[in-house]
Amino acid sequence: MSNLETVLFWITLGIYAIVCGGFIYSIVFKNERPLPKLTALLTAGLVLHSATIAVRFASTGHLPWSGDYEYALMGGWFIIAASLFVARRTKEMQPVAAATVPLVVVMMGYGVMRNPTLTPMAASLKTGWLYIHVYFAWLSFCSYTLAMAAGVMYLLKRPAAGDQSQHPFYDRFPSLERLDELIFRYIVFGFVTDSIMLVAGSIWAEGLWGSYWNWDPVETWSLISYLIYGIIIHLRVTMGCKGTKQAWLAVAALTTVVISFFGVTFVVNSSLHVFQVR
């Protein structure tokens, strides 16, 4: 990391940490007043986050596509941008950041401890399929993360649904029916983009390794995650699995995506998807 990137990164992470604590405070103490200010501060953090990516791009000559640090840097940007997008569109969705920002803080903290060194792009990555594959991978990741966050909001609101003394804070959340629909829509969007990611990755793999599928650990976990979300969609469409069950599934299923992006390479160093020297 260059000195400027280091400064920008840690300021960004500090802002996200403050915002993370603020949103958790708002949820736990059911205080809605800080939410607009926290959303504005999160926007400022995204601007600095974008500057961090721009500085790294200037130093390496390529977007941050490889290695745990770059995965976290770019993936975190997509998740924060998506959180702000849905919050700006629907004010009632501002609390979604209480679930998404903590994930980004942990991701970026983990990434900077792994491999933040500046390295040129590996020859195997210099293909147009890279941009298609990775772009749709991050779209699916941030969509699944939004589904998880909407699931958390649903579970927080659900116990008080039939309570006549329900705290007014929960009135800020969308209705249970709307949250239920959003969970499903985010999962479907993530599943479709996940499908494109897998197809693009297979085409890229055939040209790079001579085979469309190699049962690499990262590929295998990606397939497991893909099938799990496919099952969730199937349960919703054919068996009417919705409400609390769907919310819990959306929260639990995200762990498979996190393992696919970060967990496998932490345990296994022989993956074909490890393009950088650690």
Span 46-66, average pLDDT = 89
**Which pLDDT score, from 0 to 100, does residue 186 have?**
97
- Domain annotation covers residue 164: no
Give the separation between CA 183 and CA 189, rounded to whole angstroms: 10
- Domain annotation covers residue 66: yes
Domain identity same for 270 and 140? yes
Domain identity same for 141 and 258? yes
- Collapsing DSSP to helix, strand or coil, 34 comes out as coil
Nearest to 144, CA basis, from 77, 218, 76, 79: 79
Structure confidence by residue, pLDDT tens digits, 118-158: 777 666 667 778 888 889 999 999 999 999 999 999 998 88
Instruction: pLDDT band for 276, please (50, 70, 90 cuts).
Output: very low
| Of 91-95, 148-152, 179-183, 257-261, the least confident | 257-261
Domain identity same for 143 and 107? no
Q: In degrees to the nearest 10, what's the CA dihedral of 150, 152, 156, 159?
A: 90
Domain identity same for 214 and 201? yes
CB within 8 A of 164, min separation 6: which ones? none
Domain identity same for 55 and 139? no
Angle ∠(13,19,25) on CA atoms, nearest 5: 140
The total number of structural domains that make up the chain: 2
Domain of 266 in residue numbering reads as 125-159+172-278
- Domain annotation covers residue 222: yes
- Domain annotation covers residue 165: no
Give the separation between CA 188 and CA 213, rounded to whole angstroms: 24
CB 82 within 8 A of CB 143: yes
- Domain annotation covers residue 60: yes
Give the separation between CA 54 and CA 51, rounded to whole angstroms: 5
Average pLDDT of the chain, as a whole number: 86
Span 14-32, average pLDDT = 93
Give the separation between CA 42 and CA 86, rounded to whole angstroms: 13
- Collapsing DSSP to helix, strand or coil, 73 comes out as helix
- Domain annotation covers residue 46: yes
At 270, the amino acid letter reads: S
At 152, the amino acid letter reads: V
* pLDDT above 90: percentage of residues in the chain: 54
Domain identity same for 6 and 75? yes
Span 24-45, average pLDDT = 92
Give the separation between CA 121 and CA 180, rounded to whole angstroms: 42
- Domain annotation covers residue 166: no
Phi, psi angle pair for 58, to nearest 5°: -65, -30
